[in-house]
Structure 1
Amino acid sequence: MIPSNMDSGTCPLGQFPCGNLSVCLPQLLHCNGHKDCLNGADEENCVDNSGWPKLFDTIQSARGNQASREEEPQEYECELDIYPEKCECKKKIVNCSSQEFQFVPPVSVNVTALDLKDNKIKSLADGAFDKYRDLEKLLLQNNRLRSISHLTFSGLFNLKMLFLSDNRIRVLKPEVFKDLHSLEWLILDNNRVAKIVPGAFMGLNSLYFLYMLNNSITEIPKNSLCSEMPRLNWLDLEGNQLNTISESVFQECITVLILRRNKISRIEQGAFTQMKKLVDLDLSVNQIVELPPSLFSNLEDLQQLNLSFNPLKHIPHSQFDLLSNLQSLIMEDIEIPNIHNRMFSSLVNLSHIYFKKFQYCSHAPHVRSCKPNSDGISSFEDMLANILLRVFVWVMACVTCFGNLFVICMRSFIVTENCQHAMSIKSLCCADCLMGFYLFCLGAYDIKFQGEYNKHAQIWMESRECKLVGSLAMLSSEVSVLMLTYMTLEKYLCIVFPFSHFRAGRAQTIGALAAIWGLGFLITVIPFFSYDTFGNFYGRNGVCFPLQSDSTEKSGARGYSVSIFLGTITSWVVIFILPINSALNPILYTMTTSSFQEKLKQCLQSKRHQLQDSGKSFTLVSIHTNTA
């Protein structure tokens, strides 16, 4: 594809500049792993850092990167007087992990970090940490805690990080964290919390990050999160049991909201209206069927939106109109039958977009990075992405078509004793010729769409021509296999029962062939009569053949494909594997047989004698003429 020059300082739609050069390259050449710009600018800024990664870096930088500073004490000697012998101490940090403690061991009161993870602590007494007023980091993950008293963490006014993940906590009692005014990180992953009760987070005035992954939360109280945690920025509720997002549950303070892997099937209108500071919203892997029309109103600061792996049935063209600052839109595994350029035209700052099908990228030409950029068979530019596929589709088509046509012609001219067998061979060759015709069609359409396939991909795969071509390949494959089965069975009976009187006559052979073609035709047309079960069976890829069986395919279509084409099938099967049977059949069942070679030899000798006789007659006539 030829690059173009900027016109009036801007690139044409679908093309993007090479940094500060006056050269524009099309979308497909940006972020493809190969430097196409002279300055390599097309491979710069390709990582999607929109949303939480950028925000996290900003927060960490603003807070002086506390995590980095905490690595330094490892170089110092212990400054504590009291700590268990089997624990490690460096400066004022005590590490008692994996020591099978069943209680909190005594340490000096000036300890600043206490690591008690991977022990067997079942309960924490009231005031267990009351004397550790300098404690800033407490790790209690992977113990056996079932409940926490509202006095357990009393007195920890300077605690900044509390890790309670991988325990068995079922309930968070009101005011259980009331003294943790300086707490910034609260990690409650992999517990059994089923409900967030009002007042559970009271006192967490400085909390920035709240992680509650993989709990059993089904309900969140309205208007309580930001009132109890006014500085909350990051709320991660991935892997819970939420099924409805009600209005006013999430409020303005939150900037990152992760609701991935819940059971959300309903979102009320105005559920996110108050979240004016929201930067990253993850609703992926839920059961959302429909989005309210104005769901994303007031989300002017949203940078990343993830809707992937939801069974959305319809997305209005105006759904994203109010997301003017959106930079990354993730819609993987979402079928968008009504997709249109209008759907994404208002997203002027969008730099990354992710679809289920690479053909959808043609509807977002103003987005620099669009994934996926291939389906393994086709690419943005060509229907057959690989040069070997583009060449060998014509080679296999010629070998298949001309080889079978040659056999049909020769079998028609050469009279054999076994007419029924010859009839079966010619019928087999007719079926195999359809495969050759299918390959010719693929080659022709590959040339037609060359260099701009993605513009036509969606229309092509949904067209009648694609369905017709794919059904011919299916018919050829099925009839060919059934025909070979019939011929093999017939030969087997002749060999095992040589004196049997039950031999297939002309009428029986014609009936069997008609039944085989009828069955093959029935198998071919079944997907046309149940779109709900099979979907676009012949239009799942650019070669119009039901090869790929993946998690996004309808279960009915997947079962039907696997029952017909066994094994793991790749894009190369269409060109190199599938036609082999059709190409070799004329050689195996006709050209290599001694009877055919003998008949062909006789025909050639007879033809040569005729030519010699005609030559002699011509010579005699010439002599007679000259003499006269």
Structure 2
Amino acid sequence: NLSYNPIKKIQIDQFDFLIKLKSLSLEGIEIANIQRRMFRPLGNLSHIYFKKFQYCGYAPHVRSCKPNTDGISSLENLLASIIQRVFVWVVSTITCFGNIFVICMRPYIRSENKLHAISIMSLCCADCLMGIYLFVIGAFDLKYRGEYNKHAQLWMDSIHCQLVGSLAILSTEVSVLLLTYLTLEKYICIVYPFRCLKPRKCRTISILVLIWIIGFAVAFIPLSNKEFFRNYYGTNGVCFPLHSEQTESSGSQIYSVVIFLGVNLAAFIIIVFSYGSMFYSVHQTAITATEIRNHIKKEMILAKRFFFIVFTDALCWIPIFILKLLSLLQVEIPGTITSWVVIFILPINSALNPLLYTLTTRPFKEMIHQVWYNYRQRRSKRGKDSQKTYGPSFIWVEMWPIHEITPKLTKPVLCTDSSDASVTTQSTRLNSYT
């Protein structure tokens, strides 16, 4: 029993002559140079006790190892809980299907801002990568089912784990940067409608390419220098560097803090501030206009959309910021919390972004109404050879919802004062960006 001794290093051949040893306790000891070679001579060892679950992977031949889980993985399975194993497939399916559906449907929305559509499709591609990441984790959980500890260390050190972790970070960072860009674009055009320049295709594509380059750099830099970053992605079974472990190098700790509490926290603050300013600007404009009642309903719809966008961002990122701060304060974080964050909380934005930015927007609803209307018309005319049948069309004329179209909307809008003109301009901006 060597537990809680002030041992800083164990020699590789320390246990070579203890071939009859049956139980070994190393609890409370940080083994920085741990290797499989240390425990290989202990053929009769049946019980071993470590400080961390990850150390069990270095003694896979031992029948009983404690602790037997880190909250994410167990000795038997990569994903310890049945809830995790089920939901990793459910969340990945929803995330992939929703984003692929939006990518396929966006080109058919003809009358919206094309450059905005390109940005949304780029966002969906980034979010889809999160679904692919969860699919891969679920697949390797199936592969190692029932004997995970035999492969745990090889898996966390493997190139597959490194690439999967990089994919998750790439998805996360590109999504965060794209949401920030889309938010700032809306902010400028709504709060400063008369200063808003028409976005150019070259500028938009350049910004999107730059965002993806930054995302790739952030995700793959830890793989470029193993001595500095160590095993940055291989700190747990799901290969996601959510919080710093004490065994991580100072380089990994600094890099992780810069990403999560630097870039991502700054982006979150910008998004919250921008949406708050947008709503306040529209609210103030409506108050100064002459026809206040006509804008109340639209303002409430806008408020709901703003609320859900900011709410999902907060639901996703605030727990991560808290975990990161706790890790900096050296507070022990249960692995169960980490697994819930990675599988349930982190993909929230990736799963809901298609709903918030496409499936609930006015152009998409109008397209669905148009398709359904043409489908019913075609069915009603199917038996009438004398009448011409029209196929479904994805192009509509009005930007207002189908049930709100009235003859009055076909008349030109007359602005009696500057505040009315401002409201009209902002309504047009909102129609093209929401």
TM-score of the superposed pair, with normalisation by structure 1:
0.47
Q: Is the Cα–Cα contact under 8 Å of residues 361 and 370 in structure 1 kept in the other structure?
A: no
Amino acid at match of 1:339: R
Change (3 A) 1:388 1:350: closer
**Residue in 2 aligned with 1:606?**
374
Amino acid aligned to 1:343: F
Cα deviation digits, residues 469-490 of structure 1 (max 9, x gap):
1111111111111000000000
- In the TM superposition, residue 454 of structure 1 has moved relative to its aligned partner by 0.8
Q: Secondary structure of the residue that 1:541 maps to in structure 2? A: coil
> In the alignment, what sits opposite 2:181?
486
Higher relative contact order (CA 8 A, sep 6+): 2
- Alignment partner, residue 230 of structure 2: 535
Structure 2: runs of 5+ lacking an equivalent: 261-320, 325-337, 389-434
Of 298, 304, 322, the residue aligned with 1:567 is 322
* TM alignment of 1:283-294, pairs within 5 A: 284-285=5-6
Out of 14, 24, 48, the position equivalent to 1:328 is 24
Alpha-carbon contact 2:78-2:145 (below 8 Å) kept: yes
Which amino acid in 2 is paired with 1:473?
Answer: A
Does the 8 Å CA contact 1:540/1:546 hold for their aligned counterparts? yes
Distance 2:250 2:205 in 1: 37
Residues 188-227 of structure 1: pairs in structure 2 closer than 5 A: none
* TM-aligned CA deviation for residue 502 of structure 1: 2.3
- Contact 1:537 1:546 survives alignment (8 Å): yes
Change (3 A) 1:338 1:351: closer
Shift of 1:548: 3.4
Q: Secondary structure at the match of 1:370?
A: strand
- Output aligned runs, 1:106-255, within 5 Å: none
Match for residue 131 of structure 1? none
Q: Deviations over 1:129-179 (max 9, x none)?
A: xxxxxxxxxxxxxxxxxxxxxxxxxxxxxxxxxxxxxxxxxxxxxxxxxxx
Written as runs of structure 1 = structure 2, the 5 A alignment for 1:411-560 is 411-500=106-195, 502-560=197-255
Equivalent position of 1:64 in the other structure? none
Partners of 2:68 and 2:74 within 8 A in 1: yes
Alignment of 1:353 with 2:49, yes or no, is: yes
How many residues get paired? Answer: 313
Tell me whether 1:383 sits opposite 2:383 in the alignment.
no
- CA shift for structure 1 position 509: 0.9
Q: Structure 2 vs 1, CA of residues 619 and 444 (structure 1 numbering), >3 Å: closer, same or farther?
A: farther
Q: Are 1:461 and 1:542, in contact at CA under 8 Å, matched by a contact in 2?
A: yes
RMSD: 2.6
Give the whole-Å Cα distance in 1 for the aligned partners of 2:384 and 2:97: 35
Distance change >3 Å, CA 320–CA 591, structure 1 → 2: same
Within 2, Cα distance between the matches of 1:334 and 1:618?
85
Displacement of 1:328: 2.8
Question: Does the 8 A contact of 2:112 with 2:363 survive in 1?
Answer: no
Higher Rg of the two aligned structures: 1
Which runs of no fewer than 5 residues in structure 1 stay unpaired? Answer: 1-49, 51-280, 286-306, 621-628
Higher strand share: 1
CA displacement, residues 277-309 of structure 1 (integer Å, 9 cap, x when unaligned): xxxx78943xxxxxxxxxxxxxxxxxxxxx3xx
Structure 2 residue 355 is matched with structure 1 residue 590: no
State the Cα distance separating 1:547 from its structure 2 match.
1.7
SS at match of 2:65: strand
Tell me if the contact between 2:232 and 2:248 (Cα under 8 Å) persists in the aligned partners.
Answer: no
How many angstroms apart in 2 are the aligned matches of 1:381 and 1:350?
17
Matched residues in 1 for 2:160 and 2:99: separation?
Answer: 24
How much has 1:411 moved relative to structure 2? 0.6
Q: Is the 8 A contact 2:19 2:41 kept in 1?
A: no
Distance 1:428 1:349 in 2: 52
Distance (whole Å) between structure 1 residues aligned to residue 359 and residue 43 of structure 2: 63
Corresponding position of 2:102: 407
On the 8 A contact 2:358/2:364 being kept in 1, the answer is yes
Distance 1:402 1:528 in 2: 30
**AA partner of residue 31 (structure 2):** I
Q: How far did 1:537 drift?
A: 1.0
Match of 1:365 in 2: 61
8 Å Cα contact 1:381/1:453 also seen in 2? yes
Superimposed CA distance per residue, residues 98-122 of structure 1 (whole angstroms, 9 cap, x where no aligned partner): xxxxxxxxxxxxxxxxxxxxxxxxx
Instruction: Name whichever structure is richer in helix by fraction.
Output: 2
Deviation at 1:347, TM superposition (A): 6.5
Q: Whole-Å Cα distance in 1 between the matches of residues 3 and 366 of structure 2?
A: 73
